[in-house]
Amino acid sequence: MSAKSNRQRQLKSGRQEPVTDAFSIDKVLLDQRLLGAALGDPATWGTWIVVLKAAFGLPLDDDERKVFVTVAGDRAPPTQRVRELWCVCGRRGGKSRVAAAIACFVACFIQHKLAPGERGMVLVLAVSVEQAKVVAGYALAFLQASPALAMEIDDTTTSEIRLKSGVVIAVHANSFRSVRGRTLLAAVFDEVSFWRSDFSATPDSEVYSAVLPSLATTHGLLVGISSPYRKVGLLHLGLLGHMCKLRSVGPDVR
């Protein structure tokens, strides 16, 4: 069976299946026929590729391990996909594009067991409505740049990309109200250190508490990406005592 026909079979299947080696996140991001079509020069994304490989429990070669050490300290790379990935990155580090890429990967290349008619959601929450539109534009561009992935789009709105598989990529401004009643397959917090809310003094913690139960039922991935801003909130607590540019939080580290 060809890779293309195998991919079509996986997309139509209602069973939950692991990602095959051919569709691991690093290969998908570097493949010009897939998400790599909109990623740009692969050389500029080398550190992100290593971090994402580690987050999904993929083996690292010697050079990649050296990169991992520079961003995650002397801890060993995860041996299985992490529950949570927290990344601190400076300005112009590609955070929002990576958030969109992760959402597209989880939506398109991981099998999810959904009941007939059920919509699984990959939720990206941004710092504002304006930034949510930017991230949504990145996600749509990733899919439309690839003829194969463009065929998987069923419908689009200003904040959602609905796929033929039953999965929805939804991008909203941060709010715990966005989580209610959703079957969450993954949640990505973009620029989480900068979140503000008229309804809560700790919007990041409120949303975090809201998404955990839904992610637990689907074994979904939680990703937090942000520039450093203030010494409070989830990102600061996750990095307390571990100053580094990027940090992945594995199954045994909270």
What is the per-residue pLDDT across 79-99, written as a single tens digit (0 to 9) for each?
999 998 888 877 777 889 999
Place of tokens 């991230």: 135
Write out pLDDT tens, residues 160-190.
999 999 999 999 988 777 677 788 999 999 8
Residue-level pLDDT at 40: 86
Burial class from Cβ neighbours inside 10 Å (0-12, 13-18, 19+) for residue 236 reads middle
Residue with more model confidence, 127 or 37? 37
Residue 94 CB: number of other CB atoms within 10 A?
A: 17
Average pLDDT in the 120-135 region?
91
Q: Provide the b/e sequence for 65-92 (b: ≥16 CB within 10 Å).
A: eebbeebbeeeebbeebbbbbbbbbeee
Cβ within 8 Å of residue 102, ≥6 positions away: 52, 186, 188, 221, 223
| d(C-alpha 204, C-alpha 201), whole Å | 9
- pLDDT above 50: residue 207: yes
Residue with more model confidence, 34 or 195? 34
- pLDDT above 60: residue 24: yes
Place of tokens 């033929």: 164
Residue-level pLDDT at 73: 84
CATH topology of domain 3-249: Rossmann fold (3.40.50)
Cβ within 8 Å of residue 157, ≥6 positions away: none
